[in-house]
Chains A and B, each alone.
Chain A
Amino acid sequence: DGGITQSPKYLFRKEGQNVTLSCEQNLNHDAMYWYRQDPGQGLRLIYYSQIVNDFQKGDIAEGYSVSREKKESFPLTVTSAQKNPTAFYLCASRGAQYQETQYFGPGTRLLVL
């Protein structure tokens, strides 16, 4: 099956802890994105990467970090600096350079203990 997988489905974070959300795609897509969704709201862009070993901050990057060492993987770390991390996190990818549609993973719900 081709697609985007995110793990875990649910993640619990303790005070002061860094946690990492996994995003993997086997679509051979160059671009990948991380979004945050709060209840009743749309998606806000955290980070995005157009190519391996390169990434840019989105609208709400503070308290988050990413890496893009492999084309198929774009993990997101929620650091202790993110004071309000409880949200639904969605990863997406986009294919060829002029293809505008984004394909989304199933999401990870992060909760604070």
Chain B
Amino acid sequence: SQQGEEDPQALSIQEGENATMNCSYKTSINNLQWYRQNSGRGLVHLILIRSNEREKHSGRLRVTLDTSKKSSSLLITASRAADTASYFCATSPRSNDYKLSFGAGTTVTVRA
């Protein structure tokens, strides 16, 4: 079942601007991951944040996690045309069977 829901569904920004997308989920989790998918391609792992972490950075990416609100956000700073893609959050439930539940994704378009 799909646990995560991303918001917004689509986002269009100018190159150099920041892009923020949110993910909400329903049940307790071990960790939450963000993946990127370029059109017609497989997914690429971006970042993982554990349930006991509140914020994590990786290059131009910043992820926050609020377990009390069951939500996460992904911020891409100083966006580039190459950031144009769909972004998915995936949650790993506490049952610890290593299955991931994916949301429907946010499609980001970065205009040159």
What is the interface of chain A, defined by CB distance below 8 A to chain B?
A: 4, 31, 33, 35, 40-45, 48, 50, 58-59, 88, 90, 92, 94, 100-107, 109
Contacts and interface: CB of A to CB of B under 8 A. Distances in A.
Interface stretch (B35-43, B53-61, B63-71, B73-81): B35-43
A49 B81 CA distance: 37
B42 A90 contact: yes
B6 to A, nearest CB: 8
Contact of A100 (B40, B42, B98, B104): B98
Contacts, number: 55
Given A94-B98, A100-B30, A100-B33, A42 B105 contact: yes
B1 interface: yes
Interface of B: 1-2, 4, 30-31, 33, 35, 40-45, 48, 88, 92, 98-100, 102-105
A107 B39 CA distance: 11
B48 A100 contact: yes
Q: Is the interface of A mostly helix, strand, loop or mixed?
A: strand
B98 A43 contact: no
Contacts of A100: 30-31, 33, 48, 92, 98
A103 B2 CA distance: 19
B43 A104 contact: yes
Given A50-B98, A92-B43, 14 more contacts: A33-B99, A42-B2, A42-B104, A43-B88, A44-B102, A58-B99, A59-B1, A88-B40, A94-B98, A101-B48, A104-B42, A104-B43, A105-B42, A107-B42
A44 B88 CA distance: 12
